[in-house]
Amino acid sequence: MTDVTSAKSARRPHHWRRDLIELAALFTAVAVADAIANLIGHQPDGPYLLIASALALTATAAFHTWWARRHSHAPPPDTDRVSAPDGSAVQRAAAAVSPASDTGSGETTLWRMRTTVRDVPGSLAALCIVLAQHRIDILTLQTHPLARGTVDEFLLRAPATLPAPQLTREISAAGGSSTWIERADAHDLVDAPTRVLGLATRTALDAAELPLALRQLLGRCTIHSLPAVSINGRATGESAPVEGVLEETAMRLRDPAGGVITVERPHLPFTPTEFARARALVELDARLGPRVPRSEHVLTLPEGNAITVRRADRTDLEAARAMHDRCSEQTLRLRYHGPVQDADRYLDHLLSPRFGRTLAVQTASGRLVALGHLLWDGDETEVALLVEDDWQRRGIGSELLARLVALAVEADCESVYAVTQASNTGMVATMRALSLPLDYQIEDGTLVITARLDATSVRSLPPYEQASH
């Protein structure tokens, strides 16, 4: 007991009613004992019976004291050592690390670590002791139960001088197996329930957020949306049961829009807990149905015409087809890299929020004159633009591309790429106007321009994009 606690106890008020009850109980016990003693004492063998009762009480009290000490639930007296699950003794970190650890004075590194331990008492304690020995602070801890064993996931703050291979060896020696570790950042400091609720909110506001939410929920992974019907109108045969399928490093989830969402993470198997969280997000998306933020942003072109930039979806399909009819064959050929008559087939896929985000530009009369697409392509992200001929060279393409790049940066994309033809000087100039590092690849007349987005500063997003978060 500390001095503060003792001082508080000394100042506690005296309860006179409790004292009266204790005195009454004491007098009652004395009266009962006296009555029993008088009753037995007047018998012929009364004194012997009193002596035998006293000896029996003494023996019972002695046995009770011995039993309590032998089977005490208190911690063992030797608290300097704790046994690991495999029977080897591990030095307690408290004996080796002083309370005033110097990790705060030196440079530290954030790590995300996941390891599998046996589901026996002491397994987690052995890992924590090893981490404490190396002055590693446990910021968060999640447990993922398995059929055999448990996966423990840590967010650690470790000295910058401690290399990851050494940490992995120490964890393996303490009983961890299948250990995986990677660098973390400040975003990982958010606790799991808060992060999951935030992802659910984003998914509820915008159907296009589901692939991004799954990626942020599960970490580095590859996500593909496989439609049930191809662009040519043929059934693809892609399907999955309602409850989904989990296969170690891959999961298949039924897409509410039709088809299948596949998630792959070859470097780290999924746990049943992660699978349940991913399935819950997909079920939320299915219950809410199609939805896209409807906010708009009005811009004024240099010549004075007002245009509106907004999100688009499949409800804009007829307006998009009408814009195709007004575009020249050359414009459609530069955009779709194939037969012009097949251009309308791509629209249903491009306007689906499951495959990315689409921005539309419409005039004051409500006519659609431009589309910009940000398409999720596994680990990569594609940008594509189409501007009606009469509205080209007015800055609309540059405005759309800048907004698409801002969305890509917000989605933590490392790069975006555009596929066009080498003769499409307008698209090349628009990509160069981003003032980003560009990579060019040319093959058989097809030009792929990749813009790297790492360490990119982008302007604030307009209201219709902020509304999705």
DSSP string, 10-64: HTPPP-HHHHHHHHHHHHHHHHHHHHHHHHHHTSTTHHHHHHHHHHHHHHHHHHH
φ, ψ of residue 11 to 5 degrees: the values are -95, 5
Residue 322 has pLDDT above 50, yes or no: yes
| Cα–Cα distance, 198 to 189 (Å, whole number) | 14
316 class by beta-carbon count within 10 Å (0-12 exposed, 13-18 middle, 19+ buried) = buried
Confidence at 222, pLDDT banded by 50, 70, 90: confident
E strand or H helix at 166, and its extent? Answer: helix 164-173
Name the band, by pLDDT with cuts 50, 70 and 90, for residue 342. Answer: confident
pLDDT at res. 50: 67
Mean pLDDT of 254-265: 86
Tell whether the model's pLDDT for residue 272 goes beyond 60. yes
pLDDT above 90 for 403: yes
Angle, CA 411 vertex, CA 407 and CA 417 arms, to 5°: 65
pLDDT class of 1 with cuts at 50, 70, 90: very low
Average pLDDT for 171-199: 87
* Paired residues of 120 in beta bridges: none
Of 91-105, 152-166, 323-337, 405-419, give the lowest mean pLDDT range.
Answer: 91-105
d(CA 308, CA 430): 20
pLDDT, position 105: 53
In this prediction, residue 137 has a pLDDT band, given cuts at 50, 70 and 90, of very high
The widest CA-to-CA distance across the chain, in whole angstroms, is 129
Instruction: Name the more confident of 457 and 286.
Output: 286
Neighbours of 58 (CB within 10 A): 10
- Which domains are delineated in the chain? 108-188 (3.30.70.260), 192-288 (no CATH), 296-452 (3.40.630.30)
> What mean pLDDT comes out for the span 83-99?
46
Mean pLDDT of the chain: 81
Residue 326 pLDDT more than 90? yes
370, pLDDT greater than 90: yes
Lowest-pLDDT range, 45-49, 221-225, 420-424? 45-49
3-state class (DSSP) for residue 180: strand
Q: Where are any strands of DSSP class E within 303-388?
A: 306-312, 356-363, 368-377, 380-387
**Window from 333-342, 371-380, 417-426 with minimum mean pLDDT:** 333-342
pLDDT top residue among 55 and 466: 55
CA dist., res. 222 & res. 216, Å (int)? 11
| Residue that has been written with the tokens 């106890």 in this structure | 9
pLDDT over threshold 50, residue 173: yes
Predicted confidence band of residue 41 (pLDDT cuts 50, 70, 90)? low
- In the structure, what pLDDT confidence band is assigned to residue 14 with cuts at 50, 70 and 90? low
Q: Among 196, 208, 193, 64, which residue's Cα sits nearest to residue 140?
A: 193
Rounded-to-integer distance, Cα 332 and Cα 199, Å = 37
Predicted local confidence at residue 390, as pLDDT: 92
Residues 253-279 have a mean pLDDT of 89
pLDDT at 147 over 60: yes
Strand ordering across the sheet containing 245-247: 222-226, 260-264, 250-254, 245-247
What count of other Cβ atoms lies within 10 Å of the Cβ of residue 284?
17
pLDDT in tens, 175-187: 999 899 988 888 7
